[in-house]
Amino acid sequence: MFTSSAIVPADVSSIPRNTRNGSYIERTNAEFLRATYIRLVTSVLITDFVATIFRHDPYYSLGPTYNTALPDNQPVPLPPTLASLSPPTLHFVRGVAFLILVQQSLASCLTMHDLVQYYIFGHFSPIRREPWWHPTQWGSPMAVADRGYAGFWGTWWHQSFRNIFTAPTDYLIQLGVLSGPRSKGAQRTNLFFPFFVSSVLHAAASHMAPGPTRAWQPFAFFASASFGVAMQDGVCGVLDRYCGDKDEGLDPKRPDGPRWQRPIWLRRTVNLLYVALWLLISYRPLMEDMASSGFLQYEPSPVSFARILGLGRRGDEQILRGSHWPWWHHGEHWWESGLAV
Residues 324 and 234 in one domain: no
The pLDDT-based confidence of 247 (bands split at 50, 70, 90) is low
Does 2 score more than 70 pLDDT? no
> What's the mean pLDDT when you consider all of the chain?
84
Q: Look at residue 133 and tell me if it is in a domain.
A: yes
Q: Look at residue 321 and tell me if it is in a domain.
A: yes
Note the pLDDT of residue 295.
84
Residues 164 and 241 in one domain: yes
Cα–Cα distance, 151 to 145 (Å, whole number): 8
SS3 at position 130? coil
Q: Look at residue 10 and tell me if it is in a domain.
A: no
Does 72 score more than 80 pLDDT? no
Percentage of the chain with pLDDT > 70?
89
Residue 31: CB atoms within 10 Å: 12
- Alpha helices for 120-161 (secondary structure H): 142-147, 149-151
pLDDT tens sequence across 145-182: 999 999 999 889 988 888 888 888 888 888 888 887 77
Note the pLDDT of residue 114.
93
Q: Look at residue 221 and tell me if it is in a domain.
A: yes
Note the pLDDT of residue 164.
87
pLDDT tens sequence across 312-333: 888 777 787 655 566 788 888 8
Residues 244 and 165 in one domain: yes
Residues 113 and 187 in one domain: no
Q: Look at residue 7 and tell me if it is in a domain.
A: no
- The region, left, alpha or beta by phi > 0 then psi within -120 to 50, assigned to residue 310 is left
Does 82 score more than 50 pLDDT? yes
Cα–Cα distance, 87 to 225 (Å, whole number): 24
Does 6 score more than 50 pLDDT? no
Q: Look at residue 62 and tell me if it is in a domain.
A: yes
Note the pLDDT of residue 5.
42
Q: Look at residue 235 and tell me if it is in a domain.
A: yes
Q: Look at residue 95 and tell me if it is in a domain.
A: yes
Residues 152 and 279 in one domain: yes
Residues 261 and 190 in one domain: yes
pLDDT tens sequence across 10-62: 666 777 788 777 788 888 899 999 999 999 999 999 999 998 988 888 888 88
> HSE (CB half, 13 Å, CA atoms) of 181?
4
Specify the number of domains making up the chain.
2
Residues 35 and 114 in one domain: yes
Query: What are residue 18's DSSP bridge partners?
Result: 24
pLDDT tens sequence across 182-196: 788 888 888 899 999
DSSP string, 239-281: HTTTEEEGGG-S-TT-TTSPPEEE-HHHHHHHHHHHHHHHHHH
Cβ 250 vs Cβ 208: under 8 Å:
no
Residues 46 and 162 in one domain: no
Cα–Cα distance, 244 to 252 (Å, whole number): 11
Residues 104 and 199 in one domain: no
Residues 150 and 131 in one domain: no
Residues 87 and 147 in one domain: no
Residues 157 and 127 in one domain: no
The pLDDT-based confidence of 257 (bands split at 50, 70, 90) is very low
Mean pLDDT of 87-112: 92
3-state SS string over 153-202? HHHHCCCCCHHHHHHHHHHHHHHCCCCCCCCHHHHHHHHHHHHHHHHHHH
Domain containing 225 equals 141-289
Note the pLDDT of residue 178.
81
